Amino acid sequence: MDMHRQKFVQRLIHLLNILGTIATIIFVVWAWRNGLLTDKVAFLKFMGHFGIAAPFVFVIIQFIQTVIPVIPGSVTIPLGVFMFGDIWGFVWNLMPIFLGSIFNFYLARKYGRSLVHMLVGDKYYHKALTWLDDRSGFKRVLILGLILPFMPADVICYVAGLTNLSISRFVQVLAVGKPVTILIYSYSTIFLVDLVSKWI
């Protein structure tokens, strides 16, 4: 892929990130003003309009935002628990995020640095190069990045695909880290929403 096309794709992804974030903020404000985030009955009534397709739509959205994070995961993950309950919310979150992370790893392994550079942009790509120079240090970054919230997990998955890490080992680390991350995102955000709603 030539440099001009690569820059165009980077700008497009950046624009989608901005638009996705703005759309998420607008939805959250609208949902809050209409009581959907403070009244679960009202929210479930709203979701009833989507019928049985709701879980499938949610799974597709989660998969897309895992590969190209156009919507903040810190919003969609707790939203899944709020929509589908503790157990199914966890399942509908984990499945697409888990598969999306493996897909990120596969893309990087198959298409190499040029694709990763295009997808993550200059800032994260140059950071990734420092991780690749320190392979032992990257193993710690990988483990922490897949466990701790607010880490650029998509970037870490892409970089992991550029190393000699086997996909089986990557899946093992992912299987340990991702459930923890999802639980932290889910219940910390829900706790904060409940806390704020009591003061408003």
The Cα–Cα gap between 58 and 77 comes to: 10
Nearest one of 91, 78, 88, 61 to 185, comparing CA atoms: 78
Nearest one of 101, 89, 34 to 64, comparing CA atoms: 101
The predicted-structure confidence for 101-126, as pLDDT tens digits, reads as follows: 999 999 889 888 888 887 777 777 77
Provide the pLDDT for residue 96. 92
| pTM of the full structure | 0.76
Provide the pLDDT for residue 185. 78
Provide the pLDDT for residue 200. 57
Break the chain into its structural domains and give their ranges: 35-198
Provide the pLDDT for residue 191. 65
Residue type, 120: V
The Cα–Cα gap between 28 and 10 comes to: 27
Provide the pLDDT for residue 72. 65
Q: Which H/E stretch holds residue 2? A: none
Residue 105 CB neighbour total at 10 angstroms:
23
Contact 100, 62 (CB under 8 A): yes
Residue 139: both structure tokens together = 């193993």
The Cα–Cα gap between 53 and 96 comes to: 15
Provide the pLDDT for residue 100. 92
> What residue ranges of the chain have pLDDT lower than 50?
none
